Amino acid sequence: MLVNLRDICAIAEQNNMAIAAFNTPSLEAVRAAIDAAEATGYPVIIQHAECHEDIAPLDVIGPAMVALAERSSALVCVHLDHGESLSYIRRALELGFNGVMLDGSALSYDENVANSARAAAMVANYDCGLECELGSLGAREGDVLNDDPNAPEGGAGAIYTDPDQASDFIAATGADLLACSFGTVHGLYRGEPQLSFEVLDQIRARVGTPLVMHGGSGVSDEDYRKAIDAGIRKINYYTYGVKYAAESVCGLVDERRAAESPVYWHDMTIAAYERLLADFTDVMKVFANGAAPLA
């Protein structure tokens, strides 16, 4: 059943847990995320990133996401991840998405505030919550982290969220959730992620809205728990899940070739679905942070 972004994060707040927010640019990923939620009893966010338009156009995958979320027994939010323009956000809202993100992190602070406030005014007409971003992670989903030796901890181009600016930003925009930069990076990590819990604690001390971790896959279970205890309520998870799924498909192909057996496309989609389901189920249990299943 559909639960909007504000309400699903309120559940996370009440239970000191984080909601897994899986990017789902394929039917296998949509099904795996919803099935993992039904199997574990925890709410889930399925999300489509604008930069994944070439993998699955919003008009194609969006209606499937909404339909499968509506008929699920689990609590599901259907979210637009990294919306870059107000027109794209409007398209998601009209498809029935009940969470959207306006990513103004590449803009100047003033432009980010102005665009985020415009998104808030648009979202106010729908049963929908709004996520905005302040600071920058410096890389995108599927990227390999640049190993520039002069890069800040989060990687080349990363700018940590300024805690004082964060409270002004929320007051000026009315965003429901804040995506913040404190050392995680989109894509593959080259070494151990170095998270700044000091920055996160300072943001939490100044901002009452739920906080979002982007670049969430590839982080250790210990760091997930520390981040959740420090106020992270939504964890965006993509790259490592699809990497494991691809490895599983490659393993299947190798096995069939070694046995000189045919391999069909549907064998690959099934293998990918099963690997995603296993990974998503494990991840949701960690993000629950000890909370009992809710459904």
Q: Contact residues for ligand 13P (CB under 6 A)? A: 23, 49, 81-82, 141, 186-187, 214-217, 236-239
How far apart are CB 142 and ligand 13P at their closest, in Å? 7
Which CB sits closer to ligand 13P, 210 or 216?
Answer: 216
Give the integer Cα–Cα distance in Å for 103 and 215.
Answer: 14
Q: Distances from the Cα of 102 to the Cαs of 56, 109, 186, 220, in angstroms?
A: 19, 14, 17, 28
Give the integer Cα–Cα distance in Å for 96 and 3.
Answer: 11
Contact 283, 40 (CB under 8 A): no
Residue 118, amino acid: R
Which CB sits closer to ligand 13P, 160 or 238?
Answer: 238
Which CB sits closer to ligand 13P, 34 or 260?
Answer: 34
How far apart are CB 73 and ligand 13P at their closest, in Å? 26
Give the integer Cα–Cα distance in Å for 2 and 127.
Answer: 10
| Strand, helix or coil for residue 127 | coil
Residue 44 parent element (H or E): strand 44-49
Which CB sits closer to ligand 13P, 15 or 23?
Answer: 23
Residue 267 among the catalytic residues: no
Residue 278 parent element (H or E): helix 265-287
- The β-bridge partners of 49 are 81
How far apart are CB 278 and ligand 13P at their closest, in Å? 17
Contact 132, 179 (CB under 8 A): yes
Q: Distances from the Cα of 152 to the Cαs of 137, 157, 195, in angstroms?
A: 10, 8, 11
Instruction: Out of 35, 81, 162, 223, pick the active-site residue.
Output: 81
Which CB sits closer to ligand 13P, 75 or 219?
Answer: 219
How far apart are CB 260 and ligand 13P at their closest, in Å? 36
How many other C-beta atoms are found inside a 10 Å radius of the C-beta of residue 1?
12
How far apart are CB 118 and ligand 13P at their closest, in Å? 21
Q: Which residues are catalytic?
A: 81
